[in-house]
């Protein structure tokens, strides 16, 4: 279907979470508090890991990178949400929408890959302790983190290009509070069946594949711990428990959102809050409250 330039959509309208002013103020307060926890909590983790020589193991190096990703991830959507809730201005330019979509998938998929690497780190520490230092050397850790970012970029650029090639000439109302692939491609003025399946095979299968790898690593860890019960193994298992909580909060909503092609299931914008805001907010709380070494380092940092 050919479209002239004058009919192309130049901006989208984000309907947000509610039209009621009282609920908008409530959501503004909740999002502001969550964003403050994400920024302050993850920055504190980064400073603590970087300044304490006792936190030099690969696990804390990866945790530091996870905190940086969480800050970037929430900063893609939450500031725009806060402005919209406070001012009532819900419009976003077409270019800004595509940029938000790109960075959301870039950082989000990088976090999924990094969580998979962190699971591999725990598997190596528990199941192959004698080879752990050699396998998870600092150079290998840097290479794995770089691979996570490269994989995230490739995934995101595919999503963005598939979206940009669609014509947008009619409705411009997005039933969400941020620009994402499923609600955006439903507004295209053409048949998007093939595009929907391509995007589902991209985002959905990445989410499902990473989740299955994570589950497999935890099964192997549990089998190892059951066969060799020791204090050190139980300590490592406690670390994995917090990792499982983060994985569940992030992956299950993503699988529900991205695995079915757009339009086959209704997109619940409240479910999106879990993986865009709530999961990054829980990371600093889970990793600090359940980790005695981090808590001790935080106390030493506070005394200094």
Q: Mean pLDDT per 10-residue run, the chain (304 residues)? A: 55 85 89 93 88 84 92 93 87 92 94 90 85 90 96 93 87 87 87 81 84 85 68 58 74 82 62 85 74 74 70
Residue 11 pairs in a beta bridge with: 93
How far is the C-alpha of 97 from the C-alpha of 92, rounded, in Å?
6
Question: Is residue 61, in this structure, part of any structural domain at all?
Answer: yes
Q: Does residue 6 fall inside a structural domain?
A: no
Which residue range forms the structural domain that includes residue 101?
11-299
| 88 lies in some domain | yes
Please give the model's pTM, rounded to 2 decimal places.
Answer: 0.87
In a domain, 5, yes or no: no
CB 178, CB 100: distance < 8 Å: yes
Task: Find all residues with CB under 8 Å of 71, minimum gap 6, and list them.
Answer: 38, 39, 42, 43, 280
Residue 165 falls inside a structural domain: yes
Helix (H, G, I), strand (E, B) or coil at 177: coil
Report the number of distinct structural domains present in the chain.
1
SS3 for 279? Answer: helix
- For residue range 27-76, list pLDDT tens digits in order: 999 999 999 999 998 998 898 888 888 888 898 899 899 999 999 999 99
pLDDT, residue 147, reads 96
Quick one: pLDDT at residue 34?
92
pLDDT at position 48 is 86
Q: Count the Cβ atoms, other than its own, within 10 Å of residue 51.
A: 12
The residues, any chain, with a CB within 8 Å of residue 1's CB and separated by 6 or more, are 167, 189, 190
- Residues in contact with 94: Cβ distance below 8 Å, sequence separation at least 6, in sequence order: 8, 9, 10, 11, 12, 168
1 found inside a domain: no
By C-alpha distance, which of 187, 185, 205 is closest to 260? Answer: 205
Q: Does a structural domain hold residue 127?
A: yes
List, for residues 98-134, the tens digit of each pLDDT value: 999 999 999 999 999 998 998 888 888 888 888 888 8
Tell me if 3 is assigned to some domain: no
Q: What number of other Cβ atoms are within 10 A of residue 84's Cβ?
A: 22
Q: What angle do CA 101, 104, 109 make, to 5 degrees?
A: 125
Q: How many other C-beta atoms are found inside a 10 Å radius of the C-beta of residue 52?
A: 17
The reported pLDDT for the residue numbered 235 is 58
In this predicted structure, what is the pLDDT of residue 141? Answer: 93
Q: Are 85 and 27 in contact (CB under 8 A)?
A: yes
Pairing outcome for strands 11-14 and 173-174: parallel
What whole-number distance in Å separates Cα of residue 102 and Cα of residue 108? 10
The pLDDT value given to residue 16: 82
CATH number at residue 99: 1.20.1070.10
Q: What is the distance between the alpha carbons of residues 135 and 139, in angstroms, rounded to a whole number?
A: 10
Contact 243, 114 (CB under 8 A): no
């Amino acid at each position: 279907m050919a479209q002239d330039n004058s009919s192309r959509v130049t901006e989208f309208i984000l309907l947000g979470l509610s039209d009621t002013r009282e609920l908008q103020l409530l959501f503004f307060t909740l999002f502001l508090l969550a964003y403050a926890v994400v920024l302050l909590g993850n920055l504190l983790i980064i400073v603590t890991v970087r300044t304490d020589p006792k936190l030099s193991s690969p696990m804390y190096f990866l945790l530091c990178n996870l905190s940086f990703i969480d800050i970037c991830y929430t900063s893609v959507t939450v500031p725009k949400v806060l402005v919209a809730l406070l001012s009532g201005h819900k419009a976003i330019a077409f270019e800004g929408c595509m940029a938000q979509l790109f960075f959301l998938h870039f950082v989000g998929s990088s976090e999924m890959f990094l969580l998979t690497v962190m699971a591999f780190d725990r598997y190596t520490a528990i199941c192959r302790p004698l080879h752990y230092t050699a396998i998870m050397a600092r150079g290998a850790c840097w290479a794995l983190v770089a691979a996570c970012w490269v994989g995230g970029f490739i995934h995101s650029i595919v999503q963005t290009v598939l979206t940009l090639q669609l014509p947008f000439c009619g409705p411009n109302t997005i039933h969400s509070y941020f620009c994402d692939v499923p609600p955006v491609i439903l507004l295209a003025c053409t048949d998007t069946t093939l595009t929907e399946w391509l995007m589902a095979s991209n985002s959905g299968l990445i989410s499902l594949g990473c989740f299955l790898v994570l589950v497999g690593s935890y099964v192997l860890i549990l089998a190892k711990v059951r066969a060799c019960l020791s204090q050190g193994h139980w300590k490592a298992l406690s670390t994995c428990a917090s990792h499982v909580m983060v994985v569940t909060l992030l992956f299950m909503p993503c699988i529900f959102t991205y695995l079915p092609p757009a339009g086959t299931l209704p997109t619940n914008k409240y479910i999106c809050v879990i993986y865009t805001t709530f999961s990054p907010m829980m990371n600093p709380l889970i990793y600090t409250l359940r980790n005695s070494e981090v808590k001790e380092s935080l106390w030493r940092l506070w005394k200094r």
